[in-house]
């Protein structure tokens, strides 16, 4: 069986996010797992660290790769990253879900197409996904 090395890697900087959202590793962890589920990824493990006096880092390891966030609540900033291998799991859906939860004032995003030779950069459209509970 031949395997594809194709992958998509979406990185987004969010600005103007509520301090309380960004300073709560448990809140972020729960929503990042939901983001993984929203894009059809398989969660393998989760690591979360709440920093003092503020800030958090959460890493969700996926069978398809990862979703991560690192926050600076005092600046209203979060760096979010989602990389998935293969064609079936779309990292943009996870990013859209997280942007809908965090409700930033501004987002700046790039998407890398990986595993096909030279990486190409695409300007993704960030959508405010509808939250489904």
Catalytic residues: 65, 70, 85
Q: Which of 90, 81, 105, 102 is nearest to 8 (CA)?
A: 90
> 84 pairs with which residues across the strands?
8, 65
The H or E element spanning position 21 is: helix 19-22
Q: Are 87 and 40 in contact (CB under 8 A)?
A: no
Q: Are 7 and 120 in contact (CB under 8 A)?
A: no
Phi–psi pair at 74, nearest 5 degrees: -65, -20
């Amino acid at each position: 069986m031949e395997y594809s090395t194709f992958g998509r890697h979406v990185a987004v900087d969010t600005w103007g996010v509520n301090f309380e959202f960004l300073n709560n590793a448990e809140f972020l962890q729960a929503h990042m797992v939901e983001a993984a589920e929203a894009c059809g990824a398989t969660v393998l493990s989760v690591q979360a660290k709440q920093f003092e006096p503020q800030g958090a880092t959460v890493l969700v390891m996926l069978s398809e790769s990862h979703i991560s966030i690192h926050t600076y609540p005092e600046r209203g900033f979060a760096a979010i990253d989602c990389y998935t291998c293969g064609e079936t799991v779309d990292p943009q859906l996870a990013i859209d879900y997280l942007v809908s939860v965090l409700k930033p004032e501004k987002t700046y995003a790039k998407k890398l197409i990986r595993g096909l030779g030279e990486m190409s950069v695409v300007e993704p459209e960030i959508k405010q996904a509808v939250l489904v509970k």
